[in-house]
Amino acid sequence: MRILQKYFKLEALSIVALFALWEAASRIGIAPAYLFPPFTETLKSLVGLATTGQLGLHYSITLMRVLIGLGMGSSIGILLGLAIAYSELAYRALYPIVTLLYAVPAVAWIPLFIIWIGLNEALPIAVVFLCSFVPMVYTTLTGIRSLSPSIVRVAQTLGARGPAALFYILLPQALPSILAGLKVEAGMAWRTCFVVEMVAASSGLGLLAMTAQSTLRVDVILAIVLILALSNYAFQVMIERAEVRLLRKWGYVR
C-alpha cells in the first residue's frame, strides 16, 4: 500500500511536470501563442467554455454515449463470450464471425452506419457499442478458457450444470480478466466516441473540437483534448479500484 501511495504521488508529479513543461515551452515562444497557447491559457479557455454551459452540455452528451455504448457493448459481449465458452455449438457457430469482426476497427463502420442509421443519436452509440462488444467477447472467452478444467469438473460433481455453472462459477472466476479487459475497452470507447462525433454528430466533445478548429481556436481544442484525457483517466482509475478491491477481497493480491 505504501508503495502504491508513493506510486500515485510520483504519477501526480509527472503530470504536473508535463504541464509545467508545456507552460514553459509556450512562454519562451517556440511558436506563436495562437498556435501553441500556454497551459494556463488553455485552462482559462476551459473555464470559459464551462461558464457558458457549452462544455457541460456537450460533455454530458459524450459521457452518455460512452456509458450507454460501453455498458451495452460490454455486457452483451460478456454474455456472448460466456455462451461461446460454454457451448461447443455456439463456439463453432459464432467464433469465426467474432474473429472476422475483430479485424475491423469500429470507426470503419461509420460510413456504412451513416447510411443505415443516419446522422442521429443512435450512430455514435452503435459505433461505441461495436468497439466494446467484440473485444469483450474475446476477453471473456479467454478468461474462461484460462481457468483450470478441474473447476468445471468439480462444479459438475457438485451439481452445477448449464447456466448455474456459468453464472455461479465461470463468470465470477473469469471476472479478474474481464475487468482487466474492460479497463482497456473503456479507453477505446472514449476515443471512438470522440472520432464519431468529429465526423458525424451534431453534438458532443468531438463536434466542439471540430468547431474550434474551424475558428482556429487552438486553446479550445487543447482544452477539449485535456477533458477527454482526464475523463478516460477517471474511468481507468474507477475500474482499477473495483478490480483491486475485488482481487484483494478474494486474496489474489494482499
Partner 1 sequence: MPSIKLVNVSNFILRKVSLDVLDGELIVVLGPSGAGKTTLLNVIAGLVNYEGSVLFDGEPVDDLKPCERGVGFVPQDLALFTHLNVEENIAFGLKMKGVKGDELRRRVREVMELLNIEHLAHRYPLTLSGGEQQRVAIARAVALRPKVLLMDEPFNNLDLSLRRRLRMELKALQKKLGLTTVFVTHDVIEAEELADRVAVLVKGELKCVGPFNCVFFENEDPVVKEVLGSPNILKCTGFKVVHEGLAEVECEGLKLLAPHDEGVVRKIAIPPERIILMNKPNPASKFNTLKGVIEEVLKEGSYYKIRVSIGNVSLLCIKPEDEYNPSLNVGNEVYVKIPIKHVRALCTP
| From 28, 88, 115, 150, residue interacting with partner 1 (rule: CB under 8 A) | 150
Please give the full DSSP string across 139-205, using - where no structure is assigned: HHHHHHHTS-HHHHHHHHHTT--HHHIIIIIIHHHHHHHHHHHHHHHHHHHHHHHHHHHHHH-SSSH
Stretch that binds partner 1, among 126-134, 148-156, 188-196, 228-236 (CB under 8 A): 148-156
Q: Is 172 in the site for partner 1 (CB under 8 A)?
A: yes
Shortest gap between Cβ of 246 and partner 1 (angstroms)? Answer: 8
Q: Is 251 in the site for partner 1 (CB under 8 A)?
A: yes
CA distance 206 to 210: 6
CA distance 189 to 125: 10
Q: Is 5 in the site for partner 1 (CB under 8 A)?
A: no
Q: Which is nearer to partner 1, 15 or 164 (CB)?
A: 164
CA distance 181 to 191: 16
| From 21, 168, 229, 245, residue interacting with partner 1 (rule: CB under 8 A) | 168
Q: Which is nearer to partner 1, 24 or 89 (CB)?
A: 89
Number of residues that bind partner 1 (CB under 8 A): 22
Shortest gap between Cβ of 161 and partner 1 (angstroms)? Answer: 7
Q: Is 252 in the site for partner 1 (CB under 8 A)?
A: yes
* Nine cell digits for residue 233: 483517466
**How many Cβ atoms from other residues are within 10 Å of residue 45's Cβ?**
21
3-state secondary structure of 119: coil
CA distance 242 to 120: 34
CA distance 127 to 221: 23
Q: Is 151 in the site for partner 1 (CB under 8 A)?
A: yes
Q: Which is nearer to partner 1, 53 or 162 (CB)?
A: 162
Q: Is 159 in the site for partner 1 (CB under 8 A)?
A: yes
Q: Is 156 in the site for partner 1 (CB under 8 A)?
A: yes
* Nine cell digits for residue 231: 475523463
Q: Which is nearer to partner 1, 29 or 251 (CB)?
A: 251
CA distance 143 to 178: 7
Q: Is 173 in the site for partner 1 (CB under 8 A)?
A: yes
List residues binding partner 1 (CB under 8 A). 148, 150-151, 153-161, 164, 168-169, 172-173, 175, 249-252
